[in-house]
């Protein structure tokens, strides 16, 4: 159990390929951090640098009080769970769990005790003597977890551990990993490209894009107050609506529509990108003025609600509405003023509102 | 449909006949006595001298010095075949391990250097090889018989392809589990390569067993004769009115054929597994 400090870490591959660019993250003891981003954003590279499987070009990584830049993976006191589990195919489950301990010279009774404990925690006791190829995907996943647990490491590293499972099992394992981590109180660093995994599992999310950190924050912070248009579009499903617009005497002009900013958050007089989540738009109520009119393209029925896809002017917009009432071709919509996001058109950084009002 | 099937079988039977007939003739001929063979040529019927011929071939001291028996030649052939196969497996596995898992300067160049030796079979380098072995005083030793043949591009290449198909994550998991290069090799890679090792062993055993030219150069003491050489030796005894022991020559040929055939038959399933699937 330890904190993990990543300080100005960069990774440059031969040539000028910069996979990770000056990343700093402070991970508290026992915290569950999820690194999320599209493929090629450097999240796996970062994780592998913490594991010691990649060299660190610049910066330093500390696990506990120790700088581990030049420490062998086995000496770093970490355990890693791989996407394809990487179980040793010729060893039984028991041998798979024990291998690392054996190499570290742990006494036999101690190994047996730890393997038994881990098997009990993960409920894999009944197939300890089977080979990995005789196990299902979910069972292999558990064994891979078990191999991490028996080491009693300072930190768990997960490299997209659920992406080889089917959807149902993924949801189940998601919960189990989270619970297990809380129970063991071990610091965890978890890489995924699935924003839902990030939202549901993380204490804090780190959103990466092109090797840089876009934002670090709790799932709710990242969801409600994205620091950039990239984060806004990446976190949340459906993705946040992002529409080019510009400010007009403090109000928001989107195509032919002007949205009056009545809550004091003036919009700058320039080209901007304005963002609003599907659930922060509603149908115009009785005696209300509509902010904009939506032409419906198609409707997705989700059971609990429906997702209406359409266009305002040239821009696409998704609106989340309750199910039931029949819809006309056009909808009059009202935006939740407190939940509007304004991003700089050129840089994509957040400009308004600067403080969190959307709590 | 039926017609094709019939034709298929005819073709297959022709193939079987072509392959098996000479073997059957050789075996049948070996059960006659030398005189019958000399008088009537090759035989296709059972001659009744099976035990006589084979017993004599295996135990009679023969050759120029009268010291080498068939059994001795079988043993020599085994030593050559097994030593050759084991040596090749070990050497090519280690070479492939170095090439695949270690980033060293000119690694690729070394690989291609090894690979191009495929174009240089023993026959091409036989004079320098012989020269070296003579200088080292290894003529008429098992070492001299086996060692110069060991370096093998084929084996290295097979193992390289196999190692490349082993997922990188296994290596990484092993590194995190504290396995160094030796441990990874012996604990993970060798067990994973079992079928592959078996396949290469079989190929190389047969290859080594059938070596003719090199043993002929390297050994001139009859105590080192292999079966394949022994056959020829029997036919060389034209002393006076003696008839060459054709039946014994055929018996030796059958004996020489047996171990490779047995090995392939017994290990067939492993062999195919090793060359076709990767057990992961």
Question: Which pLDDT value is given to residue A242?
Answer: 92
Question: Which pLDDT value is given to residue A15?
Answer: 73
Q: Vertex B174, ends B168 and B180: CA angle to 5°?
A: 110
Distance CA A207, CA A327 (A): 37
Q: Mean pLDDT over residues A131-149, rounded?
A: 91
Among A83, A86, A103, beta carbon nearest to B183:
A103
Question: Which pLDDT value is given to residue A353?
Answer: 67
Is there a contact between A100 and A118 (Cβ–Cβ < 8 Å)? no
B183/A79 touch (CB, cutoff 8 Å), yes or no: no
Question: Which pLDDT value is given to residue A358?
Answer: 43
Is there a contact between A241 and A278 (Cβ–Cβ < 8 Å)? yes
Burial B53-70 (b: 16+ CB within 10 A, else e): bbebbbeeebbeeeebbb
Confidence of residue B280 (pLDDT cuts 50, 70, 90): very low
Is residue B127 classed exposed, middle or buried when 0-12, 13-18 and 19+ CB atoms within 10 A define those classes?
exposed
Is there a contact between A159 and A44 (Cβ–Cβ < 8 Å)? yes
Q: Using a CB-CB distance cutoff of 8 angstroms, which residues of chain B are in contact with residue A82?
A: 169, 172-173
A104 touches chain B (CB under 8 A): yes
Q: Tokens at residue B28, please?
A: 């049948």
A13 touches chain B (CB under 8 A): no
A82 touches chain B (CB under 8 A): yes
Is there a contact between A211 and A184 (Cβ–Cβ < 8 Å)? no
Is 50 exceeded by the pLDDT of residue A99?
yes
A90/B280 touch (CB, cutoff 8 Å), yes or no: no
B170/A80 touch (CB, cutoff 8 Å), yes or no: no
Q: Mean pLDDT over residues A61-66, rounded?
A: 92
| Tens digits of residue pLDDT in A36-49 | 999 989 999 999 99
- Average pLDDT over chain B reads 84
Pair type for strands A271-276 and A241-248: antiparallel
Distance CA A73, CA B26 (A): 63
Confidence of residue B227 (pLDDT cuts 50, 70, 90): confident
Distance CA A243, CA A235 (A): 16
Per the document, the length of chain B is: 280
A52/B175 touch (CB, cutoff 8 Å), yes or no: yes
Q: Using a CB-CB distance cutoff of 8 angstroms, which residues of chain A are in contact with residue B166?
A: none
Question: Which pLDDT value is given to residue B237?
Answer: 57
Question: Residue B235's CB: how many other CB atoms inside 10 A?
Answer: 12
| Tens digits of residue pLDDT in A203-215 | 999 999 999 999 9
Distance CA A134, CA A115 (A): 19
Confidence of residue A354 (pLDDT cuts 50, 70, 90): low
From A227-231, B77-81, B101-105, the region with the lowest mean pLDDT: B101-105
Question: Which pLDDT value is given to residue A147?
Answer: 93
User: Is the bond leading into A353 cis (omega within 30 degrees of zero)?
Assistant: yes
Q: Mean pLDDT over residues B252-263, rounded?
A: 86
Distance CA B117, CA A258 (A): 78
Distance CA A260, CA A255 (A): 14
Is 60 exceeded by the pLDDT of residue A356?
no
Q: Using a CB-CB distance cutoff of 8 angstroms, which residues of chain A are in contact with residue B191?
A: 90
| Higher-confidence position of A268 and A61 | A61
| Tens digits of residue pLDDT in A277-328 | 999 998 888 888 888 889 999 999 988 889 999 998 788 999 999 887 788 8
- Average pLDDT over chain A reads 89
Of B80, B81, B61, nearest in space to B71 by CA: B61
Q: Mean pLDDT over residues A119-130, rounded?
A: 91
Confidence of residue B236 (pLDDT cuts 50, 70, 90): low
| Tens digits of residue pLDDT in B111-136 | 888 888 888 877 888 888 889 989 99
Question: Which pLDDT value is given to residue A359?
Answer: 38
Question: Which pLDDT value is given to residue A207?
Answer: 95
Is 80 exceeded by the pLDDT of residue A265?
no
A89/B183 touch (CB, cutoff 8 Å), yes or no: no
What is this model's ipTM?
Answer: 0.84
Bridge partner residues of A248 (DSSP): A251
Is there a contact between A353 and A252 (Cβ–Cβ < 8 Å)? no
At B41, is the secondary structure helix, strand, or coil? coil
Is 90 exceeded by the pLDDT of residue A251?
no
User: Is the bond leading into B173 cis (omega within 30 degrees of zero)?
Assistant: no
Is 50 exceeded by the pLDDT of residue B279?
no
Question: Which pLDDT value is given to residue A357?
Answer: 47
Is 80 exceeded by the pLDDT of residue B38?
no
At A97, is the secondary structure helix, strand, or coil? helix
Confidence of residue B90 (pLDDT cuts 50, 70, 90): very high
A90/B177 touch (CB, cutoff 8 Å), yes or no: no
Q: Mean pLDDT over residues A320-349, rounded?
A: 87
């Amino acid at each position: 159990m330890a904190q993990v400090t990543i300080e100005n870490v960069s990774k440059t591959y031969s040539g000028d390929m910069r996979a990770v660019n000056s990343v700093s993250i402070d991970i508290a003891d026992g915290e569950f951090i999820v690194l999320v981003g599209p493929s090629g954003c450097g999240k796996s590279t970062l994780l592998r640098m913490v594991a010691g499987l990649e060299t660190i070009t610049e910066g330093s990584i500390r696990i506990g009080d120790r700088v581990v830049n030049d420490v062998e993976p086995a000496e770093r006191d970490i355990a890693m769970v791989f996407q394809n589990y990487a179980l040793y195919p010729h060893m039984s489950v028991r041998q798979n769990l024990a291998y690392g301990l054996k190499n570290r010279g742990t006494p036999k009774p101690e190994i047996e005790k730890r393997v038994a404990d881990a098997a009990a925690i993960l409920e894999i006791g009944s197939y300890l003597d089977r080979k990995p190829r005789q196990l299902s995907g979910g069972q292999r996943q558990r064994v891979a977890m078990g191999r991490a647990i028996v080491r009693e490491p300072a930190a768990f590293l997960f490299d997209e551990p659920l992406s080889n499972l089917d959807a149902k099992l993924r949801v189940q394992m998601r919960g189990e990993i989270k619970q297990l981590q809380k129970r063991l109180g071990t610091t965890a660093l978890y890489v995924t490209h699935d924003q839902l995994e990030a939202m549901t599992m993380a204490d804090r999310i780190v959103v990466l894009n092109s090797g840089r950190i876009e934002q670090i924050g709790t799932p709710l912070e990242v969801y409600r107050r994205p620091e950039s248009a990239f984060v806004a579009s990446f976190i949340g499903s459906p993705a946040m609506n992002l529409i080019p617009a510009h400010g007009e005497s403090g109000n928001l002009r989107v195509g032919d529509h002007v949205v009056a900013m009545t809550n004091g958050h003036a919009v700058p007089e320039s080209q901007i990108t304005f963002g609003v989540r599907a659930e922060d738009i509603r149908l115009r109520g009785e005696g209300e003025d509509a902010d904009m009119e939506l032409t419906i393209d198609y409707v997705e029925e989700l059971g609990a609600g429906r997702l209406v896809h359409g266009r305002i002017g040239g821009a696409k917009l998704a609106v989340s509405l309750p199910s039931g009432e029949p819809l006309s071709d056009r909808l009059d919509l009202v935006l939740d003023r407190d939940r509007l996001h304004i991003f700089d058109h050129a840089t994509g950084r957040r400009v308004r509102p600067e403080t969190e009002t959307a709590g | 449909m039926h017609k094709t099937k019939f034709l298929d079988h005819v073709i297959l039977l022709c193939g079987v006949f072509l392959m098996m007939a000479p073997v059957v003739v050789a075996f049948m001929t070996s059960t006659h006595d030398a005189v019958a063979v000399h008088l009537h040529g090759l035989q296709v019927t059972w001659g009744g001298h099976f035990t006589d011929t084979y017993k004599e071939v295996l135990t009679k001291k023969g050759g120029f010095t009268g010291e080498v028996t068939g059994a001795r030649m079988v043993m020599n052939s085994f030593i050559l075949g097994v030593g050759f196969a084991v040596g090749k497996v070990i050497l090519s596995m280690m070479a492939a391990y170095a090439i695949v898992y270690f980033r060293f300067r000119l690694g690729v160049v070394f690989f291609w250097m090894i690979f191009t030796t495929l174009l240089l079979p023993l026959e091409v380098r036989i004079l320098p090889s012989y020269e070296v072995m003579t200088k080292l005083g290894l003529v008429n030793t098992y070492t001299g018989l086996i060692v110069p043949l060991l370096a093998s591009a084929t084996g290295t290449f097979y193992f390289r392809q196999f190692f490349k198909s082993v997922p990188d994550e296994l290596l990484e998991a092993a590194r995190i589990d504290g396995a160094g290069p030796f441990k990874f090799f012996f604990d993970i890679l060798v067990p994973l390569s079992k079928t592959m090792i078996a396949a290469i062993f079989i190929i190389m055993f047969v290859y080594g067993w059938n070596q003719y030219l090199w043993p002929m150069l390297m050994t001139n003491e009859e105590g080192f004769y292999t079966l394949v050489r022994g056959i020829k030796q029997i036919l060389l005894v034209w002393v006076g009115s003696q008839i060459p022991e054709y039946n014994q020559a055929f018996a030796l040929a059958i004996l020489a054929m047996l171990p490779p055939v047995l090995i392939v038959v017994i290990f067939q399933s492993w062999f195919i597994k090793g060359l076709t699937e990767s057990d992961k």
